[in-house]
Amino acid sequence: MSVDDVWQLRSVGRPQRLRDSSISSARPPPTVNRTAHPLSPILFTDPPPTMSLATYLSRFKSVSGSPTPSESLSLSQLAPSILNLTITDTPEQWTLYESLLLTTLRTGDDTSARLVLQRLSDRFGNSNARVMALQGIYDEATSSNHAQLEEVLKNYDEVLKEDPTNFPITKRRITLLHHLNKKTEAIAALTALLDLNPTDGECWSQLAQYYFEVSMFSQAIYCLEEVLLILPNAYNIHARLGEISCIAAETSGAGKEVEKLEASLRWYLRAVELCDGYLRGYYGVKMVTARLLQSKYSSATRTIPEEKVNKLNSVATVHLNDIVTGFEKNKKGFTGYNPAEVAAAKELLEADSSSS
């Protein structure tokens, strides 16, 4: 299906239909996907059992915003049974549809995605900003070549010409610009968006990521500090600031290195203070204190006394040990940590014990 077809389909918005039957009579039932989908042998091994709306929603909520491929796959397999549920027109239902749309697009189940999107636009109308953004995501995902993506970008520009305050579409446009490797344009568009809407933490955080990718560390740090002005308790942003300061210390001149490492340590310490047992925070504290204790830095340039750094290092070691052993023994209250992060912490602990 070309992009033009998709945009035509979009404009064929019929009046609101809530019943499932009218759609399934007009289109093949969703179970037909089994044969239509290119990945059908892997995607549809056994028919998923039917569950209630709340159970489905809970499964979608339990994975993060960027799920692993296997998580996406198992969620995407729920598509036929979710589409067979009667439409109740509750907020939960539409939240579930939105997540399902993204998941099916991730796994390439475009037929189900098309159906979900159709139902969403039937309910909320084609001119709803959020539906427009979802439509844009669909178009981006199903474009097969560069020219089609440029076409989608042009469509975004047209929408924004009519309504410059359509924030979801503005964000889509910025993402697409970045994806098409127009990084400076993406940054310029994002700063323009932030001029219009300076209290959106998500935008500041995204801008920090873009600056970080082009190694403009001080700009990235500035953006994350703006996020902290909006959400002062965001401990993961504190940890991110610690990470970026630590990376910036590597590339900065010899004189500034200690200063930046100490700034990084302070960010990490605040993260740990805001969240009890924060693995990422303790990992950072341990890593940065270990680097500060290296003999190549003279004590004259330090503002944090050495015995304090030593003490912090041992405290972080104790906490990391607790988490790693708790996770490995599957103790209650330790099972939720990310296995990759725990493995990294274990590696750091082992490297430390072998060197000392």
Partner 1 sequence: MSLPSKLLIAFSSLLLAHACYSAHEHSLLSTTTPSSSPAASSSSASSTTAGSAPAGSSLPLDMTLETLFSVSLLLLGLVLSGWELKPISLRAYAGMLESGKIQPDGVIGGKKGRGVFDALEERPGFLDIRKQRKEFTEWVKLEGSS
Tokens 């995407």 correspond to what residue?
76
Examine residue 267 and tell whether it contacts partner 1 (CB under 8 A): no
Query: How far is Cα 251 from Cα 183, in angstroms, rounded to an integer?
Result: 22
Residue from 120, 234, 241, 244 touching partner 1 (CB under 8 A): that is: 234
Q: Which is nearer to partner 1, 20 or 200 (CB)?
A: 200
DSSP structure string for 288-355: HHHHHTSTTS-GGG-SS-HHHHHHHHHHHHHHHHHHHHHHHTT-TTSTTS-HHHHHHHHHHHHHHHHH
Examine residue 63 and tell whether it contacts partner 1 (CB under 8 A): yes
Examine residue 329 and tell whether it contacts partner 1 (CB under 8 A): no
User: Helix or strand or coil: residue 64?
Assistant: coil
Which structure tokens are listed for 237?
């942003």
Three-state secondary structure along 93-135? HHHHHHHHHHHHHHHCCHHHHHHHHHHHHHHHCCCCHHHHHHH
Number of residues that bind partner 1 (CB under 8 A): 62
Query: How far is Cα 201 from Cα 312, in angstroms, rounded to an integer?
Result: 31
| Sites for partner 1 among residues 84-103 (CB under 8 A) | 102
Residue 290 Cβ vs partner 1, minimum distance, rounded to whole Å: 23
| Sites for partner 1 among residues 186-215 (CB under 8 A) | 201-203, 205-206, 209
The piece of 5-13, 133-141, 249-257, 304-312 that touches partner 1 (CB under 8 A) is 133-141
Residue 141 Cβ vs partner 1, minimum distance, rounded to whole Å: 5
Q: Mark residues 34-53: x for contact with partner 1 by CB under 8 A, - for none.
A: -----x--x-----------
| Residue 330: count of CB within 10 angstroms of its CB | 8
Residue from 77, 118, 166, 175 touching partner 1 (CB under 8 A): that is: 175
Q: Which residues bind partner 1 (CB under 8 A)?
A: 39, 42, 54-55, 57-58, 61-66, 69-70, 72-73, 102, 105-108, 133, 137, 140-141, 143, 167-168, 171, 174-175, 178-179, 201-203, 205-206, 209, 227, 231, 233-237, 240, 273-279, 323, 332-338
